[in-house]
Amino acid sequence: MGEIVIGILLILLSALIYFNSGDFPQLNETHLDPGSYPKLLALLLFLLSLILVIKSSVNLLKSKTSLFDSGIKDFLKKQWKEYKLVVYSLVILGLYILLLNVLGFIISSIAFIIAAGLLIGPKKKKDLITISIVSFVVTFGVYFFFENVLYVRFPNGIFF
């Protein structure tokens, strides 16, 4: 199933690349312009993905047993249990990245470490203390190391 979806997405990608490769300005009389090599790759990717889609469709039709044998609701429930934390941690990471510019490196990093640690691990008081200490030490350690040794400027955010 998933393979077919990925294959179709890749086919769309190759079409996108192919049809965007035609209108680059020509600088000189060369035999290959900036668009030819990507076009070649797009064609290759198209062919390979097409084979993948066909192959997986054939396999899917051949195998009689469907994924949804025990009811679609049950299937989704199992999937959700398995991938719940992946989705949540994706959301937390996304928020962290978005807030980095607003809250600044230090505040958002500390918040991120604590949030992710509590999300994945146990949520007792002792764990909260451990992860908080870890987050402070690591965030400030990274901050001072990169600012003073490698001269990196981290985003400071609106508070400083």
Partner 1 sequence: MLDLMLLGISEIFQIHILIVIFLGVIAGILAGLIPGFTVTMAIVLTLPLTFGMEPVTGVATMIGVLVGGMSGGLITATLLGIPGTPSAVATTFDAFPMARKGKAGKALSIGIWASFLSSIISFFILISIAPQIANLALEFGPWEMFSLIVAALTIIASVTGESILKGLIGGVFGLLIATVGADPISGITRFTFDLDVLRAGIPFLVVLIGMFAISRLFDSVERTELDRDIKQKQEDKIQGIKFVLKPKETLISVIRKPVNLIRSSVIGAIIGAIPGAGGSIANLIAYDQAKKWSKESDKFGTGHEEGVVASEAGNNSTVGGDLIPTIALGIPGSAVTAVLLSALMVHGLNPGPLLITNEPNIVGGIFIAFLVASFFMLISQFLGIRYFVKVTEIQTHILFPLIMLLCVVGTFVLNNRITDIYLLFIIGIVGYLFTKYKIALAPIIIGVILGPIAEVNLRRAFMSDPEWTLFLTRPISVTFLILAVVSILFTIWQSRKSSSR
By CB under 8 A, name the binding residues for partner 1. 2-3, 6, 10, 13, 17, 20-21, 24-25, 27, 30-32, 34-35, 37-38, 41-42, 44-45, 48-49, 51-52, 55, 81-86, 89-90, 93-94, 96-97, 100-101, 109, 112-122, 127, 130-131, 134-135, 138-139, 142, 146, 149-155
Kindly give the interhelix angle for 2-19 and 36-62, rounded to the nearest 10 degrees.
Answer: 160
User: Residue 107 or residue 139: which is nearer to partner 1 going by CB?
Assistant: 139
Q: How far is the CB of 146 from partner 1 (least distance, A)?
A: 6
Token pair of 31, please? 């035999």
In the numeric block, which tokens belong to residue 112?
């991120």
136, 114 contact by CB (below 8 A): no
Q: Identify which of residues 36 and 66 has a Cβ nearer to partner 1 in the complex.
A: 36
User: What is the C-alpha separation between 85 and 97, in angstroms, rounded?
Assistant: 18
Taking alpha carbons only, the member of 88, 138, 94 closest to residue 113 is 138
CB 154 within 8 A of CB 143: yes
Q: How far is the CB of 91 from partner 1 (least distance, A)?
A: 11
Q: How far is the CB of 41 from partner 1 (least distance, A)?
A: 5
Minimum distance between the CB of residue 68 and partner 1, rounded to whole angstroms? 19
